[in-house]
Structure 1
């Protein structure tokens, strides 16, 4: 005689179909440890009788749980919780957005041999000036020119990565007594930075082209009593939704801020990935825009070089802040960058990364289904819009299956915002691990799909 299951039958709260509510209740109890790996689940007929639902409904719920890897069925014995087995083995991390690895040992060894013959020891024996070495600023000017942003070297501040650049930009444009307006779904690093340093964020609606001018204008006008206001926006390959502004939208956003004398912080770290005639916001309004760029996001995460381009009026304020902070990138990283710019390596790496990004994006679209979310051939990530509850369940189940995804709360400005989703970062894993993870997540998407799936053609609104 089979042992009786100790699980107390229930349906999750909500208005969905009984099979979905049963599946959700069981998955919650498995993931939260109330059901351990190997625990027996109730027999189909017994569970149907105790909940007052059909046997077919129980069968459907059990099938969804098995596709998620949370249960396993043994012929002649029954169905058992299996989360523990799903967690075995190394994790596949799809939560960190990096370009695909295109720098090999030979290239690095050859580069180090070259720069060893021309290293200036003074850069290691002395502290860098507050705004960085002049030759480094000129070098970064050349880098910005490769994606059509012409600036004066005196307007540039080198930093050790984009996150430092964004932090300094927030301080300069807003400070803790002001408010930062950004897309209501935005870069997790900016959300984490604001929460850590106590900046107040306000979410602005977005659509297929990103931040909408009407919503931005209305939100700015609601914040007129705040001493300082700033707008943080990602116009190219928005993180997390991949939205990219056209030229008309860019000019409209700039005009809204120019009319209200509000500084824009433009996150341009992905601008180099798109070979299009799309002007940077900093090119449209140099006196109102702080521009952020980074080699970490475009060439290699280990190349910790960020670039902050400032309006002329902010130069003195920035130098005062920099005297109290140490933000200069490693001289070794700058020498590597100089060598690669001179010998054409930068262009070769960019081309290789672009090809690999397109390949990975196409793989994700083919395995997950092109109508499940937003895919862009130049992006290192894809966006799967979902209601908060479903997104949290998706992330928890993926973790139980050994796959780490970006937590939905990390991309939302307002923690109460129900319309969020899942960001899947494609650049970090090996090709084999990426395909393995996407196949697993494709099954998870199918198992969690409602009877009438919602359209993903638009960014979800509140």
Structure 2
């Protein structure tokens, strides 16, 4: 039996795209134009483009058409793949560090070695952490606007592990979780692996559009809300108190569990009260020390309502049993002696300097970001394609992220996210100048 005509068309398009005959960014005929040209039914033409998109060769964009993708570029560019080449300037993944942190670690290890409690660190720890360490973290959280008991604090292996244990403990496959239309990719991966359905909420001014959230909750059985009200990744907003209160009113009306991701909250000075303080009966507050201290220090914490503690402890037991004793002891020692507070203050200043530099170099482009954020969102000029910009930058040994890893809606904006915290300032300055030139060159080629 001869192959279906649509399949032959798919193969022909695919061959031309892979051979470079159809260059990245080429706009393909409309569905109707293709149907008329090839003598197909409209539904068959749509099937051709659907299969090409499923193969990762094209992208369909509402109101603009169907375009050839840059096939040399990973669809997840920016998050799931870190720049590994020795000469690659990594602007896609943040691992901010300050001079002198290595010596801090040497000192902490020496101090720990002289500790009389060293033998205890060789044994299993309680699943949620030792009582005195939970109390240390509870005291530290006061600077984040949280007043909680040690019993409400559970220690985990980083904020991502905290998110995973929260999902395992409190959500079921098939649950609908409302989240921003652009959100943290790590939660997208987590939701997919646990069979959660993410329902996107479009953005309003400095936060999610609460009318959209309200309508979503009235039309769907939404179980939870994943939010980053204090220094959102990737948009950088800090949601105001009034909007937080309105969000909580919706959550209470529809009995939503709230997962508050505060991984970057330390960068915002004097933000409004956390959701966990405004709605403590239904909010999980999750953060860690990866960004504020060092990415290799995989210590995080969950603040939870007391009734949920046993369920989360079981999830910790099922995944890691407990956090590494030595790592936790170092982290809590640095919290207790003020090292973490000092590093957080220094990183706020460092982030402000980098953000200011980025805004100056990229002046005139449509950028979104907090003044003390380690990342910047850049909406590209009209008709400028993110995959072309990203690929052109890769060819210049600069790795950035497209919007695709962050998007929870079908419509993916042509934008890039720049991580500002992973390279030296002088390298960042040159890289940002290159980013600007590449965006301008790609715009001129449209």
TM-score under structure 2 length normalisation: 0.78
SS in 2 for 1:382: strand
Alignment size in residue pairs: 378
Q: Aligned residue for 1:393?
A: 388
Q: How far off is 1:89 after superposition? A: 7.1
Contact 1:209 1:249 in 2 (8 A): no
Q: Distance in 2 between matches of 1:312 and 1:294?
A: 20
Q: Which residue of 2 aligns with 1:421?
A: 415
Does 2:440 align with 1:443?
A: no
Q: 1:105 corresponds to which residue?
A: 102
Larger Rg: 1
- Write the deviation string for residues 277-324 of structure 1: whole angstroms up to 9, x where unpaired: 410000001001011011112221121111111112212222333332
Residues 63-462 of structure 1 correspond to what in structure 2 (within 5 A)? 90-118=87-115, 120-224=117-221, 229-326=223-320, 328-369=322-363, 371-386=365-380, 390-414=385-409, 416-419=410-413, 421-449=415-443
Cα RMSD after superposing both structures: 2.8
Q: Distance in 2 between matches of 1:423 and 1:9?
A: 27
Compared with structure 1, are the counterparts of its residues 8 and 379 closer, same or farther at alpha carbon in structure 2 (3 Å cutoff)?
A: closer
Q: Return 110-119 or 303-312, whichever deviates more.
A: 110-119
Q: Which moved more, 1:261-270 or 1:324-333?
A: 324-333
Structure 2 vs 1, CA of residues 376 and 347 (structure 1 numbering), >3 Å: closer, same or farther? same
C-alpha contact 2:379 2:414 (8 A) present in aligned 1: yes
- Residues 125 and 388 (structure 1 numbering): CA distance in 2 closer, same or farther, change over 3 Å? farther
Describe the SS at the equivalent of 2:144. coil
CA contact (8 A) 1:155 1:312 kept: yes
**Contact kept in structure 2, 1:163 and 1:189, CA below 8 Å:** yes
CA-to-aligned-CA distance 1:306-356 (integer Å, 9 cap, x gap)? 111111221222233333231533222222223323332222212211111
1:9: Cα distance to partner? 9.3
Instruction: Provide Cα deviations, 1:81-123, integer angstroms capped at 9, x if missing partner.
Output: xxxxxx9971111111233434433322222222222252343
Per-residue CA distance 1:225-257 (angstroms, 9 max, x = gap): x6xx11000001110111110111111111110
CA distance in 2, matches of 1:418, 1:7: 24
Instruction: Give deviations 1:395-425, integer Å, cap 9, x for gaps.
Output: 22221221111232110113x2133521110
Q: How many Å separate the matches in 2 of 1:321 and 1:345?
A: 30
Q: Is the 8 A contact 1:147 1:272 kept in 2?
A: yes
Quick one: distance in 1 between partners of 2:226 and 2:112?
Answer: 37
- Measure how far apart 1:14 and its partner are: 7.0
Cα–Cα, structure 1 residues 442 and 231, in superposed 2: closer, same or farther, change >3 Å?
same
Q: Cα distance, 1:125 vs. partner?
A: 3.0
Give the superposition deviation at 1:153. 1.0
Shift of 1:370: 5.4
Residues 451 and 254 from structure 1, CA distance in 2 versus in 1: closer, same or farther, beyond 3 angstroms? farther
Deviation at 1:188, TM superposition (A): 1.3
Q: Contact 1:205 / 1:211 at 8 angstroms: preserved in 2?
A: yes
Per-residue deviation, residues 11-44 of structure 1 (Å, max 9, x unmatched):
93279xxxxxxxxxxxx89x658xxxxxxxxxxx
Shift of residue 195 of structure 1? 2.3
Cα shift at 1:374:
1.0
Cα separation, 1, equivalents of 2:324 and 2:314 = 21
Is this contact kept in 1: 2:124–2:322, CA < 8 A?
A: no
SS for the counterpart of 2:435 is helix
CA 1:104–1:315 in 2, change beyond 3 Å: closer, same or farther?
closer
Secondary structure in 1 matching 2:441:
helix
1:213, distance to aligned residue in structure 2 (A): 1.5
- TM-score, with structure 1 as normaliser: 0.75
Task: Give the SS at the match of 1:423.
Answer: strand
Alignment partners' CA distance in 1, 2:179 and 2:383: 19
Determine helix, strand or coil for the equivalent of 2:361. helix
What is the distance in 1 between the residues matched to 2:118 and 2:336?
21
> Can you give the 5+ residue segments of structure 2 that lack an aligned partner in the other structure?
1-18, 30-67, 73-83
SS in 1 for 2:128: coil
Q: Which of 3, 27, 43 is the matching residue for 1:13? A: 27
Unaligned runs of 5+ in 1: 1-5, 16-27, 34-86, 453-462
